Chains A and B, each alone.
Chain A
Amino acid sequence: MSQRRVVVTGLGATTPLGGNVDSTWKALIAGQSGVRLLTDDWRELLPVHFAARVATEPAEQMERVEMRRLDRSEQFALIASREAWKDAGSPDDIDKERLGVVIASGIGGVITLMDQFNILNEKGARSVSPHTVPMLMPNGPAANVGLELHAKAGVHTPVSACASGAEAIGYAFEMIKNNRADVVVSGGVEAACHQLPMAAFAAMKALSTRNDDPARASRPYDLDRDGFVLGEGGGILVLEEFEHAKARGAKIYCEISGQGLTSDGYHIAAPDPEGNGVQRAIKFALANAGLTAKDIVHLNAHATSTPAGDVAEANALRKALGADADHVAVSATKSMTGHLLGGAGAIESVFLVKALEERLAPPTINIENLDPAVTVDVVRDKARALPAGDIAALNDSFGFGGHNVVLVFNSI
């Protein structure tokens, strides 16, 4: 079998910066923050009073009856997938047995789970919604998108905490590479802005507590970073076999040419300070893509704004890329979107595709004093132009459990 190549032919998103890709990208390039004070009464129960909720509520983009049988994470998946599918030219006449869906969620329908638990306690078992299980299952977002598109090549949901979204895109890439599918709708979503997950992350001391200045709380690489900011939303990419895309005259954004997957075997939540797993994932991804560090001009970093994680990652990047790290513009977009957990690697892949298309690396905001331990070239404050010609970029994502995923995209 000749080598099958995989390209990106559609994008969709709903994020703290906008209800679609275009509005999100504009806000991102302008350096806007999507982080706001929560308006929920329960915030007073928590040490953290802010998060990055989606900019456009699903109710503005969806019918009420459809919404009531979908968890919020499933609503995000359908909204972003519909945009991506339309962006891909709505190829409804393709062979559905060659159409797959891989959409991840780190946590699943936790808001549904908690709401129905409250109903059980208050009103009894008979009042628990019969839609509860399809709403809380982590594969629910993928399943609902698969149903809507009649996808029959396989519907999958990798779960690897905050690496889930990137792992989903890598899985979709492999489905096409391995000739299981010609088109795969892929990405990740998360809807966990709820008091329980927030209290739980706060208990781990993982969240920023900068309650007096939420918009400046997510500050990857800054000396005074104190944790991540929880975000919600999701990103979707339509991946397609290159010849298939050309044959139907699809708009082709770029190629996805490789992935690298490793695990740390170090700690359930803390990053390996040596970043060995990250370095190996980068090397595997480049080899898989048939590229070298010389080809890479941009990287969308995982950089969540935690004290340990940002430096461990930056060190690993420097070690893996060596002197070539000097020409890699590193953007930490969680400074604007917050951390979408299972949606993070997906929305950041959407950003990477847009960066290649627009030749523009998004800024990293809120760095007042760059941590001197960070020895990579961070794009600070303002977006930066990327070079003309053939270029390639990386997206790295990591998850609790020691999961490392690196994806390679290149211009075509």
Chain B
Amino acid sequence: MALSPDDVLAGLKQIVEEVAGVPAADIELGKNFTEDLDVDSLSMVEVVVECENRFGVKIPDDKVTDLVTVGDAVNFIVSASN
């Protein structure tokens, strides 16, 4: 079943807050994971695995480097859920 961008963003906010301690209110579509949210490479691995578990999608390792912003991640997950 396709997920809505709003649902994915809401879930992603919870995951990033849990993993990296970034307040959910700071997590916006245009924010860069590394530069804006200070999510380092190890924490990004955790975010990806949590997203796979929560949204039931596969995020291949070679796609992870393309997920630069929160919006990139939301778009990828929504597409993958279709």
A residues near B (Cβ < 8 Å) are 63-66, 68-69, 126-127, 129-131, 134
The answer to whether B20 and A131 have CB atoms under 8 Å apart is: no
* B: interface residue count bin: under 10
A134 vs B41: C-alpha distance in the bound complex, in angstroms?
13
The answer to whether B45 and A130 have CB atoms under 8 Å apart is: yes
The answer to whether B21 and A129 have CB atoms under 8 Å apart is: no
The answer to whether A131 and B21 have CB atoms under 8 Å apart is: no
Is B42's CB within 8 Å of the partner chain A?
yes
- List 20 contacting pairs A-B, 8 Å CB cutoff, sorted by A: A63-B21, A64-B21, A65-B19, A65-B20, A65-B21, A66-B21, A68-B19, A69-B42, A69-B43, A126-B49, A126-B52, A127-B49, A129-B46, A130-B42, A130-B43, A130-B45, A130-B46, A131-B42, A131-B46, A134-B42
A65 vs B22: C-alpha distance in the bound complex, in angstroms?
9
Chain B residue numbers with a CB within 8 Å of A130 are: 42-43, 45-46
B residues near A (Cβ < 8 Å) are 19-21, 42-43, 45-46, 49, 52
Min CB distance, B8 to chain A, in Å?
20
Chain B residue numbers with a CB within 8 Å of A134 are: 42
Chain B residue numbers with a CB within 8 Å of A63 are: 21
A68 vs B65: C-alpha distance in the bound complex, in angstroms?
24
Chain A residue numbers with a CB within 8 Å of B49 are: 126-127
Chain A residue numbers with a CB within 8 Å of B52 are: 126
A129 vs B49: C-alpha distance in the bound complex, in angstroms?
9
Min CB distance, A95 to chain B, in Å?
27
A126 vs B58: C-alpha distance in the bound complex, in angstroms?
12
A249 vs B13: C-alpha distance in the bound complex, in angstroms?
48
Other than the given A65-B19, A65-B20, A126-B52, 14 more pairs (CB < 8 A) read: A63-B21, A66-B21, A68-B19, A69-B42, A69-B43, A126-B49, A127-B49, A129-B46, A130-B42, A130-B43, A130-B46, A131-B42, A131-B46, A134-B42
Min CB distance, B62 to chain A, in Å?
15
Chain A residue numbers with a CB within 8 Å of B46 are: 129-131
Min CB distance, A239 to chain B, in Å?
31
Min CB distance, A234 to chain B, in Å?
24
- Among A63, A64, A69, A131, the most chain B Cβ lie within 10 Å of the Cβ of A69
Chain A residue numbers with a CB within 8 Å of B21 are: 63-66
Which residue of chain A has the shortest Cβ distance to B44 in the bound complex? A130
- 10 shortest A-B CB distances, which residue pairs? A65-B21, A130-B45, A130-B42, A131-B42, A126-B49, A130-B46, A127-B49, A65-B20, A63-B21, A129-B46
Chain A residue numbers with a CB within 8 Å of B45 are: 130
Which residue of chain A has the shortest Cβ distance to B20 in the bound complex? A65
Which residue of chain B has the shortest Cβ distance to A129 in the bound complex? B46
Which residue of chain B has the shortest Cβ distance to A127 in the bound complex? B49
Min CB distance, B45 to chain A, in Å?
4
Which residue of chain B has the shortest Cβ distance to A65 in the bound complex? B21
Min CB distance, A67 to chain B, in Å?
10
Which residue of chain B has the shortest Cβ distance to A123 in the bound complex? B53
Chain A residue numbers with a CB within 8 Å of B43 are: 69, 130
Min CB distance, B37 to chain A, in Å?
12
A105 vs B46: C-alpha distance in the bound complex, in angstroms?
27
Min CB distance, A11 to chain B, in Å?
29
Chain B residue numbers with a CB within 8 Å of A126 are: 49, 52
A32 vs B12: C-alpha distance in the bound complex, in angstroms?
48
A129 vs B46: C-alpha distance in the bound complex, in angstroms?
7
Min CB distance, A148 to chain B, in Å?
15
